[in-house]
Amino acid sequence: MNDKKLTVVAIGGNAIKRAKEKGTFDEQMRNLAHTCKYLADMIDGGYDLVLTHGNGPQVGALLVQQDAAKEKIPSMPIDVHDANTQGSIGYMISQSLSNVLLKRGIKRDIAAIVTQVIVDKDDPAFQSPTKPVGPFYSKKEGEMLGKEKGWTIVEDAGRGYRRVVPSPQPLDIVEKDIIKSLVIRDVITIAVGGGGIPVIRKKNGELEGIDAVIDKDRASSLLARLIDADLLVILTSVEKVYLNFGREDQKALDTITADEAEMYMEAGHFAKGSMKPKVESAIAFVRSTGKEVIITELEKVGDALAGKTGTRIIK
């Protein structure tokens, strides 16, 4: 290992597809070219990076395409779509970052790893699916699909009916030793994309994919712990973590302890589908390693690393 600071960077969804965009290939590549400038700054500044990313919009698009072509092409389960998007987004990040580094005269190898993440088939999340995926259906279509495929279908904020799947806790990463070996060889590695492909390990040791969605930040925190990272950086759409977010009395958090973060979380300050899993993931990393987590937005990451902004969660 070299003396650079090994950092897991969890790239937020807006770094790939921004709000109100259609999500075309050109749009996503343009966004990634912008994102990779900041990642290249980190590499230039002496950080060894392991990158993770979301894949929600991309998996959603595949599910819509699959639904539209269901009379002609056999459907694939969500774990296969996770694998597909890990490959496609990994390719896009790898190429974008490689091109930015080339312009700066920096030669680094980059590898995207299709990553399986082990979950417990008895995780309580499987008894109460909550993560919406795929297209919207009418009530009649949703009821029919629920009976036909055994899906859990719920109404989604008055917009129609959607399938919901479990979001279990990540327990282990199948390819962790491969990722460690790449890090030792100074390879910039892209892993656990979209939270990883959820798999269970059967009694005979075999692996089997399962329909679920693992939270990207929880998987990133687990990866950072397993590879003994020095720092976890979670990039999102806001500069800092806030109390009373969106209200007149909102308050930005600068440096807080894991205990303080947990206290704020239990008081209901962080939204379930956005900031809460990020804070939970940060707490898990800090308590397990004694090291720090930074939560900030992409464009502020340099200042956050310098201690000028962002929210820093410490032991």
User: Which residues are identified as catalytic?
Assistant: 13-14, 131, 216, 278
Sequence-separated (6 or more) residues with CB below 8 Å from residue 24: none
Task: Reduce the DSSP state of residue 256 to 3 states and report it.
Answer: strand
14 — alpha (psi -120 to 50), left (phi > 0) or beta? Answer: alpha
State the greatest distance between any 2 C-alpha atoms of the chain, in Å, as a whole number.
60
Residue in 5, 40, 50, 33 with CA at minimum distance from that of residue 223: 50
The string of DSSP codes covering 62-78 is HHHHHHHTTTTS----H
In our burial notation (b when 16+ CB lie closer than 10 A, e otherwise), range 32-68 reads beebbbbbbebbeeebbbbbbbbbbebbbbbbeebee
Whether residue 117 contacts residue 192, with contact meaning beta carbons closer than 8 Å, is answered with yes
* DSSP sequence for 160-213: -EEEEE--PPP-EETTHHHHHHHHHTT-EEE-SGGG-EEEEE-TTS-EEE-S--
CA-to-CA distance for 282 and 312, rounded, in angstroms?
A: 9
Residue 157: strand, helix, or coil: coil
Helices (H), the chain: 25-44, 56-68, 78-103, 139-149, 176-184, 216-226, 258-266, 275-289, 301-305
Using DSSP's 3-state secondary structure scheme, residue 296 falls into strand
